[in-house]
Structure 1
Amino acid sequence: MFTVKRSGENRVDLEIHGKLDSDAMAQLLDHLLNASTGLHKGRLLYRLEAFDLPTLGAFAVELARLPQLFRLIQRFERCAVLTDTAWLRHASELEGALIPGLQVRAFRTDQEPQAEDWLNEA
């Protein structure tokens, strides 16, 4: 299950709970692309709670849509990841280090105020 919402002129909030299959991944990507339309140097607050690895079908959907994903990533300048799962925090920051132009910082869920402050920095 997921929710995607535009929460400001230059911000999108994404929340994922549980496991994503191929249909859910396709829907999530469609919603994220639509919600981020027109963003420049956008901010993304990404909440991962009770997260399970996506199915192989969901990974296949991502691979098939890589060109769209690269355009999507370019809309964002900062991404704050909120999760209590340590390996997800580490993986998020590693992924951010590999994506030019995108700063990714991971926070525990009890650090949401710090994540908000970081997202709002100039």
Structure 2
Amino acid sequence: MPYTIEAETNDLTTIDAQGDLNPEAMPEAVDQLMEQTDAEDPGSLLVRLQHMDLGTLHTVASDWSRKAEFFALQKRFGKVAVLTDQPWVRQSAKMQAVALPDTELKVYDLADEADARVWLEKAPAETEAA
């Protein structure tokens, strides 16, 4: 899976992924995220998923949503914005949000990255008032 993980700021990490997900690459990606984030000071995550393959995304999401690493990662992000070009990925991300009870998750079209970034930057109290 071609992906990149970048800590844009202390509070914002981005992941860009496209094509087939490689389940064997997940431990390395999780390690990178753990190194770049802090469980004591949760930040935000911006995920761009483009041209994803249904079978591999479903398999990886189903497998990883039950792992201890997934639960450890969720404590590192108070908000997650998913940008995608595919309706089925949008729906899948919304369903995965159920497994993230302590994390706010919103899904956006790829073209709406500016809106996603504005939402990620809002403090929780501002989000409730909006």
Establish whether TM, by shorter chain, passes 0.5. Answer: yes
Answer yes or no: is the 8 Å Cα contact 2:39–2:75 preserved in 1. no
| Cα separation, 2, equivalents of 1:27 and 1:56 | 19
Q: Which amino acid aligns with 2:34?
A: L
Report the Cα offset of residue 16 of structure 1: 0.7
- Shift in CA distance, 118/56, structure 1 to aligned 2, threshold 3 Å: closer
What is the CA-CA distance between 1:76 and the residue it aligns to? 0.7
The runs of 5 or more residues in structure 2 that have no matched partner are: 124-130
Corresponding letter in the other structure for 1:104: L
**Unpaired stretches in structure 1, ≥5 consecutive residues:** none
Query: One-letter code of the match for 1:25?
Result: M
1:62 — aligned with what?
Answer: 64
- The alignment covers a number of residue pairs equal to 121
Partner residue, 1:117: 118
Counterparts of 2:79 and 2:96, CA distance in 1: 13
What TM-score do you get using the length of structure 2 for normalisation?
0.80
Q: Which amino acid aligns with 2:31?
A: D
| Partner Cα separation in structure 2 for residue 106 and residue 56 of structure 1 | 17
- CA displacement at 1:75 relative to structure 2: 1.1
Q: Does 1:75 align with 2:76?
A: yes
Alpha-carbon separation, structure 2, partners of 1:56 and 1:77: 23
From the two aligned structures, give the one with the greater strand fraction: 1
Identity of aligned residues (%): 26
Which residue of the partner structure matches residue 127 of structure 2? none
Give TM-score, length-normalised by structure 1: 0.84
